[in-house]
């Protein structure tokens, strides 16, 4: 794709002839002696995006003429750039077991805009249609695909937003602060952008593969345990019956709303990010995981009460060392219902209500947590409190204040 005809350039960039003619007349993009360069596809798509964002072609042309901006970096926008497919949507749909309405419903679940016969089909949309067809052939249900795509879309959105924010703060902001103009910053950051995209995409793959391997082995072991019940020596079943119940913990920063007003949104967001990083590290150290961040807090899942309490105690104790506001934690122990990477059930609800009742730097735990951990966790004191009425619960709940024994 070194040299392109005018027709091929317009087709790959998804640009109609009239609009391309206006761009050419403004001399924003010009053909060489042999035709257009392959890099002009990304350049043209960027021009279209700027125009759609409200920047008139005349304004852009004047900015280029006066060298206020440059589009020379356009070929370095994406590590793996996407072009417009040469396959029409109608042809792609002929090979799909789903109609456009059902495909767009799945597209929407992933957080993507609808595909339309009046717009050119992107290459990745074409592959999306093909992959959906493969899932259907393998027996995946519509509901199942919606669930997976919803989680994929939400997770990937957070990943790519984080990558973008990191690039702005770690690469572009220092150059702007050093006095470079936006033209120089965009040009200087282009090569780093591609390299960081390459690293980020590879890291995402490595982490996904690692976590998927853990999930697959966990599932297969569980299924094999079910199959082997009643076969041979069943003494291991007694150990299965004694397996501790999982524990759920909610932790958040006390007085975060007031903190935001005192120090501003940006600094408060940095505090919240620092808290999430601390919680992530401590969770991993004690065998738990963050199920989801909650702005100024986190919801965590642990294999047992002891792991949850060790993490909670460390969170409360280490918050000051990390220049964080006081942390409060609520812990509940019991069965949970896993679904789409999240957890649900009475234990989750109880843990959330307990956390809301905790004071700054306080850890509150339910009776089940106390019963599960008290005999095996000698370094901790459990101080019973008067039964407390919690929002949404019909009866007062006996809670324990958990402290590290001195």
Share of residues in the chain with pLDDT > 70 (%): 95
State the burial class of residue 105 (Cβ atoms within 10 Å of its Cβ: 0-12, 13-18, 19+): middle
Helix (H, G, I), strand (E, B) or coil at 179: coil
Question: Which DSSP string corresponds to 47-106?
Answer: HHHHHHTT--HHHHHHHHHTTS---GGGGGS-SS---B-SS-HHHHHHT-SS-HHHHHHH
| Helices 40-52, 57-65: crossing angle, 10 deg rounding | 120
Query: Mean pLDDT, the chain, as a whole number?
Result: 88
How many distinct structural domains can be found in the chain?
A: 3
Q: Give the domain-ending residue among 197, 215, 233.
A: 215
If asked whether residues 17 and 66 sit together in one domain, one would say yes
15: domain CATH number is 1.10.1660
> Computed from CA positions of residues 84, 90, 94, 96, in that sequence, does the dihedral angle turn out positive or negative?
positive
Residues 150 and 50 in one domain: no
The per-residue pLDDT for range 117-162, each reduced to its tens digit, is: 888 889 999 999 999 999 999 999 999 999 999 989 989 998 999 9
Residue-wise pLDDT for 297-328, tens only, equals 999 999 999 999 999 999 999 988 888 999 99
Length of the chain: 406
Task: Please indicate, yes or no, whether residues 197 and 253 belong to a single structural domain of this protein.
Answer: no
**Domain contains 270:** yes
| 14 & 148 share domain | no
pLDDT at 96 over 90: yes
Is 264 in the same domain as 378? Answer: yes
- Within-domain flag for 117: yes
Where does the pLDDT of residue 206 fall: very low under 50, low under 70, confident under 90, or very high at 90 and above?
A: very high
Same domain, 248 and 336: yes
Taken in order 99, 101, 104, 105, the sign of the CA dihedral is negative
If asked whether residues 129 and 13 sit together in one domain, one would say no
Query: At a CB cut-off of 8 Å and minimum separation 6, what does 180 contact?
Result: 188
> What range defines the domain where residue 120 resides?
89-215
Instruction: Please compute the mean of the pLDDT values over residues 63-78 and round it to a whole number.
Output: 86
Distance CA 172, CA 273 (A): 20
* Listed range (38-52, 300-314, 323-337) with the worst mean pLDDT: 38-52
394 & 253 share domain: yes
Residues 268 and 321 in one domain: yes
Asked if residue 128 belongs to a domain, the reply is yes
Q: Last residue of some domain: 76, 103, 135? A: 76
pTM score of the predicted model = 0.72
Q: Is the pLDDT of residue 262 over 60?
A: yes
CATH, residue 336:
3.30.70.1230
107 and 173 inside one domain: yes
- pLDDT over 70 at 234, yes or no: no
Q: For residues 251 and 296, what is the distance between their CA atoms, to the nearest angstrom? A: 9
- Whether 17 and 48 map to the same domain: the answer is yes
Q: Which residues, 6 or more positions from 231, have their beta carbon under 8 angstroms from its beta carbon?
A: none
224 within some domain: no
**In-domain check, residue 18:** yes
The model's confidence at residue 375, banded by pLDDT at 50, 70 and 90, is low
Domain membership flag for residue 278: yes
Same domain, 70 and 100: no
Instruction: Give residues with Cβ within 8 angstroms of 50, minimum separation 6.
Output: 60
> Do 390 and 399 contact (CB within 8 A), yes or no?
no
- How would DSSP label each residue in 292-306? EE-SSEEEEEESSHH
Q: Which DSSP state fits 245?
A: P
- Strand 36-37 to strand 289-293: parallel, antiparallel, or no bridges (unpaired)? unpaired
Bridge partners of residue 381, in order along the sequence? 403
274, part of any domain:
yes
Domain C-terminal end among 48, 76, 104: 76
Q: What is the pLDDT of residue 381?
A: 86
Does residue 83 belong to any structural domain of this protein?
Answer: no
């Amino acid at each position: 794709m070194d040299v392109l005809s005018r027709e091929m350039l317009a087709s790959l960039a998804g640009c109609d002839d009239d609009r391309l003619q206006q761009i050419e007349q403004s001399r924003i993009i010009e053909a060489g002696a042999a035709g257009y360069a392959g890099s002009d596809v990304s350049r043209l798509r960027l021009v279209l995006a700027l125009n759609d964002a409200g920047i008139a072609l005349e304004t852009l042309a004047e900015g280029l003429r006066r060298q206020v901006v440059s589009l020379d970096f356009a070929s370095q926008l994406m590590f793996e750039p996407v072009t417009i497919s040469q396959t029409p949507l109608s042809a792609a749909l002929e090979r799909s077991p789903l109609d456009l309405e059902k495909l767009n419903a799945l597209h929407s679940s992933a957080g993507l805009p609808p595909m339309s016969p009046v717009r050119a089909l992107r290459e990745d949309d074409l592959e999306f249609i093909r992959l959906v067809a493969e899932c259907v052939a393998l027996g995946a249900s519509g509901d199942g695909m919606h669930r997976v795509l919803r989680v994929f879309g939400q997770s990937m959105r957070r990943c790519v937003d984080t990558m973008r924010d990191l690039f702005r703060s770690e690469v572009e902001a220092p150059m702007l602060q050093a006095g470079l103009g936006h033209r120089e910053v965009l040009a200087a950051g282009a090569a780093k952008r591609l390299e960081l995209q390459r690293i980020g995409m590879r890291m995402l793959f490595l982490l996904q593969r690692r976590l998927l391997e853990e999930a697959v082995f966990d599932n297969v072991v569980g299924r094999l345990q079910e199959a082997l019940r009643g076969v041979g020596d069943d003494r291991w079943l007694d150990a299965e019956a004694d397996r501790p119940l999982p524990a759920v913990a909610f932790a958040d920063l006390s007085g975060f709303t007031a903190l935001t007003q005192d120090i501003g949104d940006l600094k408060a967001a940095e505090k919240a990010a620092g808290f999430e990083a601390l919680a992530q590290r401590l969770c991993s150290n004690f065998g738990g995981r963050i199920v989801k961040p909650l702005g100024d807090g986190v919801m965590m899942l642990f294999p047992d009460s002891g792991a949850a309490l060790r993490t909670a105690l460390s969170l409360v104790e280490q918050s000051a060392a990390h220049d964080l506001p006081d942390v409060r934690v609520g812990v509940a122990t019991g069965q949970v219902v896993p679904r789409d990477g999240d957890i649900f059930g009475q234990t989750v609800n109880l843990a959330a209500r307990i956390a809301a009742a905790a004071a700054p730097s306080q850890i509150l735990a339910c009776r089940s947590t106390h019963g599960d951990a008290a005999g095996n966790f000698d370094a901790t004191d459990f101080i019973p409190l008067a039964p407390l009425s919690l929002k949404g619960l019909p009866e007062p709940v006996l809670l324990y204040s958990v402290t590290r024994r001195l």
